[in-house]
């Protein structure tokens, strides 16, 4: 009985091995011409934004007070379309949107007699990026992100501050295969948020050094 099972097993193994060989030969005998990679113009991505070296300006009691902000983590979603395809020295241009959320926007320490107030910052930003291909799979880019921002109080009663925000920076993106890419960048962001008229349009703005660590895909 054991011998029979062994024989059957050997036969199965042999047939599998032979079929594998046959497939390999078939594959080897087919000559295919590689199709040129299709240029993908739509790109989407997600990025982690450690917002560092920041400051937060508030106006308690009518006195404008600017204090260092804690490092605030943020996340950005990006979607863009390549309106200009890079060609030689001509850079590529991507236009899109890049909304982002930043948590834990607060002073490091409060001036004497004041409390620390915590905010969440929602930025609705457009994005224009200009990129140069340095080498295959590697691009350098500069970007500008203008938009609208609001500071939402967290853990205390208060009104949202809102206003214009603009960010700019530079970075590098590298391809991870045909579709995926990763990018690493840095820049600066400044907000001109103000409280509503009920609060006398008092200044409530932020500014940060912005680090971008992201991944994305092209379609």
Binding site for another protein (CB under 8 A): 50, 52-53, 68, 71, 108-109, 134-138, 172, 174-177, 182, 184, 186, 211, 213
Q: Which CB, 24 or 138, lies closer to another protein?
A: 138
Q: Which CB, 93 or 213, lies closer to another protein?
A: 213
Q: Which CB, 79 or 175, lies closer to another protein?
A: 175
Instruction: Provide the minimum distance between the beta carbon of 51 and another protein in the complex, in angstroms, as a whole number.
Output: 11
Instruction: Provide the minimum distance between the beta carbon of 109 and another protein in the complex, in angstroms, as a whole number.
Output: 5
Instruction: Provide the minimum distance between the beta carbon of 174 and another protein in the complex, in angstroms, as a whole number.
Output: 4
Quick check: 214 and 206 in contact, CB under 8 A? no
Instruction: Provide the minimum distance between the beta carbon of 213 and another protein in the complex, in angstroms, as a whole number.
Output: 6
**DSSP secondary structure code for residue 177 in this structure:** T
Q: Which residue has the tokens 């950005």?
A: 76
**DSSP secondary structure code for residue 156 in this structure:** S
What is the per-residue burial (b if ≥16 Cβ within 10 Å, else e) of 160-185?
bbbbebbbebebebeeeeeeebebeb
Helical residues (DSSP H) of 76-194, grouped into ranges: none
HSE (CB half, 13 Å, CA atoms) of 212? 30
Cα 27 from Cα 201, distance rounded (Å):
72
Distances (CA, A) of 39 to 43, 82, 103, 147, 191: 11, 10, 36, 29, 36
Instruction: Provide the minimum distance between the beta carbon of 87 and another protein in the complex, in angstroms, as a whole number.
Output: 19
């Amino acid at each position: 009985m054991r011998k029979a099972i062994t024989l059957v097993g050997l036969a199965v193994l042999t047939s599998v091995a032979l079929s594998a060989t046959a497939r390999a030969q078939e594959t080897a005998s087919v000559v295919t011409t590689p199709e040129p990679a299709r240029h993908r113009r739509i790109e989407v991505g997600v990025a982690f934004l450690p917002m560092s070296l920041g400051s937060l300006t508030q106006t308690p009691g009518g006195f404008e007070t600017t204090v260092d902000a804690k490092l605030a983590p943020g996340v950005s979603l990006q979607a863009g379309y390549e309106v200009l395809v890079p060609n030689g020295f001509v850079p590529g241009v991507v236009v899109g949107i890049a909304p982002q959320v930043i948590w834990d926007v607060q002073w490091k320490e409060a001036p004497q007699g004041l409390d620390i107030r915590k905010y969440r910052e929602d930025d609705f930003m457009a994005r224009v990026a200009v990129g140069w291909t340095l080498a295959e799979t590697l691009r350098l880019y500069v970007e500008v992100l203008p938009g609208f921002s609001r500071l939402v109080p967290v853990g205390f009663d208060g009104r949202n501050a809102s206003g214009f925000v603009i960010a700019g920076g530079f970075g590098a993106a590298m391809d991870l295969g045909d579709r995926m890419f990763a990018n690493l960048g840095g820049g600066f962001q400044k907000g001109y948020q103000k409280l509503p008229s009920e609060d006398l349009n008092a200044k409530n703005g932020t500014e940060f050094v912005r680090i971008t660590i992201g991944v994305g895909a092209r379609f």
